[in-house]
Amino acid sequence: MARVLIVDDEPKLVTLLKSALAHRGHDVSGAGGGAEALALLPGGRFDVVLTDLRMEPVDGMAVLAGARVHSPDTAVVILTAYPEVKGAVDALQQGAFHYLTKPFNFQEVAHVVESAAAAVALARENRALHRAVVQLGGGPEIIGTCPATAALRQLIAQVAPSDATVLIRGESGTGKEVAARALHAASGRAAGPFIAVNCAAIAETLLESELFGYRQGAFTGADRDREGLFEAARGGTLLLDEIGEAGAAVQAKLLRVLEERKINRVGDPIERQVDVRVLAATNRPLETLIGAGTFREDLYYRLLVFPLDVPPLRERLDDIPLLTAHFLARLGRREAGLPAAALPRLRAHAWPGNIRELRNLVERAHILAGAGPLTVDHVQLDVGGRGRLAPGPSTLEDLDLDRNARTLITEALRRADGNKTAAAAMLGITRRAMYSRMKMLGMEAGSAE
Ligand SMILES: Nc1ncnc2c1ncn2[C@@H]1O[C@H](COP(=O)(O)OP(=O)(O)OP(=O)(O)O)[C@@H](O)[C@H]1O
Ligand SMILES: [Mg+2]
């Protein structure tokens, strides 16, 4: 049995189709026009929508567009009079399942409706399977059993199915991106794309066109129309990482997306509806940025619909054995864990770099141990290596600014266990300044880690 909506401004046709399809055991509703159909679509109550193409004032193309946004699991079949075949082809390009030309016989209608319903059921089943596979492993995993971790996992499971915006907060290296991926994987959008953008790694104007796309000629170098990540992530999830680093223009546009689900590509007057779940992450308290006047308070409240706090490692010390076992397994080592003798030291450590620091420690131990057994000597905590760079014995070979900048950044990153926020703090510059310096020097600055 399929749930079918018939849309036609000719009441007689609606009645006829309704009774023919109901006769075959389908659950059929009718709408006398496009506007009525659009009002019925949200909520995904229909498997198949059968709509006339030419209607006034809201036509079948608008019904199709509405279905794609508000009920992406619904297949749309277009009904059209013979001379309008071109319109039907456009409809297919816009994602219609099939079209039927009038006059048609009921046998044909029933056949198309039933194969559309079967395709919809298959797509749904695929998505459920995909979710199951992700949960079975291979997908993003939040390792750990201590109460703080269990609570995090529970919250993710609760908020995932909704389309609510989630603000993921936590210190650097706590697993904010891992949490975001887990949330996506547990959501109804799991089969759609997951895209993460680091707002700190990209210059403001570039970030705007990355996110929203642009129209040909919008600026020098815009030699063709391009869609942005909000469009590329349709049907999926977009993670705005380090949202606190987004500039004013981007913040204003983000506010609009969150309020109206609409964007304009840069330089383009056409409004576009977006179908994206937005997640944002920050390791800086946004309240402070609001106080400093660099972050919009209204955007903050839009993001705060559902805050998700990822606890620091020092509050989940009991997870250390499981986490290290996980990292060792990923490195292909046979040991089931780090030597027990190392555990007291690991528990006493402050872990400013959180889980990333722990992962780096395990990787270092793995390299030091080589093919031999991994012993407690291979477990080396980076204690006392923090704080501002000490002047120390000068390693400056010459006065080449670039070379020395490279040395300083590399050293700061090493001391901060790859944590860029901490490294930038040691150097006394902003994270954004460090990124742009790294880019200038051709150093690897692309990834979020
Ligand atoms: N619960 C977890 N289980 C397994 N691995 C984890 C977990 N949390 C974090 N990790 C690992 O720790 C590293 C850091 O995680 P992630 O990049 O998600 O942190 P982050 O909070 O986004 O950091 P940053 O603020 O620097 O962007 C990654 O290698 C990730 O795979
Ligand atoms: Mg991150």
Q: What kind of architecture, by CATH, is found in domain 147-309?
A: 3-Layer(aba) Sandwich (3.40)
- pLDDT tens digits along 325-349: 999 988 888 888 899 999 999 999 9
The candidate with the shortest Cα–Cα distance to 395, out of 384, 381, 405, 386, is 405
Q: For residue 398, name the pLDDT band (cuts at 50, 70, 90).
A: low
Evaluate if residue 205 carries a pLDDT over 90.
no
pLDDT at 419: 84
Q: How far from the centroid of its chain's Cα atoms is residue 274's Cα?
A: 14
The candidate with the shortest Cα–Cα distance to 49, out of 29, 77, 20, is 77
What value does the mean pLDDT take over residues 426-443? 82
What value does the mean pLDDT take over residues 110-121? 90
pLDDT at 138: 46
pLDDT at 110: 92
pLDDT at 440: 80
CA 149 to ligand 1: nearest atom = 1
Q: For residue 388, name the pLDDT band (cuts at 50, 70, 90).
A: very low
Q: How far is ligand 2, taken at its centre, from the CA of residue 24, in Å?
A: 53
**Residue of 168, 172, 174 with the most ligand 1 atoms within 8 Å of its CB, for mutation:** 174
What CATH number was assigned to the domain covering residues 384-449?
1.10.10
pLDDT at 390: 39
Evaluate if residue 252 carries a pLDDT over 50.
yes
Evaluate if residue 386 carries a pLDDT over 80.
no
Please name the residues in contact with 289: beta carbons below 8 A apart, sequence gap of 6 or more.
Answer: 244, 295
pLDDT at 399: 59
Q: What is the dihedral of CA 173, 175, 176, 180, to 10 degrees?
A: 150
- pLDDT tens digits along 3-41: 999 999 999 999 999 999 999 999 999 999 999 999 998
Bridge partners (DSSP) listed for residue 56: none
The domain made up of 3-129 has a fold known as Rossmann fold (3.40.50)
CATH number (1.10.8.60, 2.60.120.330, 3.40.50.300, 1.10.760.10) of 313-378 reads: 1.10.8.60
Q: Is the CB of 173 under 6 A from ligand 1?
A: yes
pLDDT at 222: 85
Domain limits, the chain: 3-129, 147-309, 313-378, 384-449
Evaluate if residue 372 carries a pLDDT over 60.
yes
Measured CA to CA, the distance from residue 434 to residue 442 in angstroms comes to 12
Q: Are 423 and 409 in contact (CB under 8 A)?
A: yes
Q: Is the CB of 443 under 6 A from ligand 1?
A: no
Q: For residue 387, name the pLDDT band (cuts at 50, 70, 90).
A: very low
Q: How far is ligand 1, taken at its centre, from the CA of residue 176, in Å?
A: 6
What percent of the chain has a predicted confidence (pLDDT) above 70? 91
Q: What is the secondary structure of 143-187 as a DSSP string?
A: ---SHHHHHHHHHHHHHTTS---EEEE--TTSSHHHHHHHHHHTS
**Are both 3-129 and 147-309 of the same fold?**
yes
Coil/strand/helix, residue 214: strand
Evaluate if residue 445 carries a pLDDT over 70.
no
Q: Are 179 and 156 in contact (CB under 8 A)?
A: yes
What value does the mean pLDDT take over residues 225-249? 94
